[in-house]
Amino acid sequence: MAAFAFLATISTGRAVGFDAREAAFFLATGIATLVLSRIASDRSWREALAVSWPQERRVPLAFLAALLAVLVIEAALAVSGIFGSLDELKAMSPSERSLLGLANAVLLAPIVEELLFRGLLFTALRKRLPAFPTLAATTLAFGLLHIENGLLHVVSVLPAGAFLGYAREKSGGVGLPILLHASMNAAVVVAGLLL
């Protein structure tokens, strides 16, 4: 699930493209990512939370488990109706939608996406590949995450993905990419508020 397509419309409150299920999805996926990275490593919780990554032999299992977790979480949210109907979301004030969008865009999406792409995937690929192929593969994967919003959107996020991957390579961790990603998303939200 990508946050970028919804940022401008959420922040202005002019359209309802975001719902609370997305925020819950990002939160649940983030928690699942942390838990799965811990399960797939032989390190302490402290190391796992400081971004430790699975042993190479466990990477495929971690990806399959993450995919299964995402599918189960998404299905449960869709079936439960726990976050209300689209009509209830439409009835929310623009400021309420803006707050949900801001939390999703500036907190949840950057953390989850960076842990998955510049953390888990980048680290696994970088052990076997030089920097450029790793950067290209993770940038493309990041772009493809946004395919639900159309091919043009995929192309538009590729430079950001490359920039975040470069920051990951140079900094050696995901802290800087998370901060940069959050900053870029915040800028989009602020621009949407000003338009």
pLDDT digits (tens, 9 = 90+) for 118-176: 988 888 888 899 999 999 999 999 999 888 777 887 888 899 899 999 988 988 888 88
Within 10 angstroms of residue 168's Cβ, the number of other Cβ atoms is 27
Residue ranges per structural domain of the chain: 15-194
Q: Could you tell me the two tokens for 137?
A: 């593969």
The conformation of residue 95, written as its DSSP 8-state character, comes to H
pLDDT of residue 57: 61
* Residues 34, 175, 59: CA angle, nearest 5 degrees: 40
Instruction: Specify the pTM.
Output: 0.59
pLDDT for position 133: 97
For residue 15 the two structure tokens come to 């359209």
Position 10 pLDDT exceeds 50: no
Q: 75-112: string of b/e by CB count within 10 Å (b at 16+)? A: eebeeeeeeeeeeebeebeeeebbebbbebbbbbbbbb
The DSSP letter of residue 150 is -
CA distances from 105 to 83, 98, 134, 137, 182 (A): 18, 10, 25, 23, 7
CA-based diameter of the chain, in Å?
Answer: 51
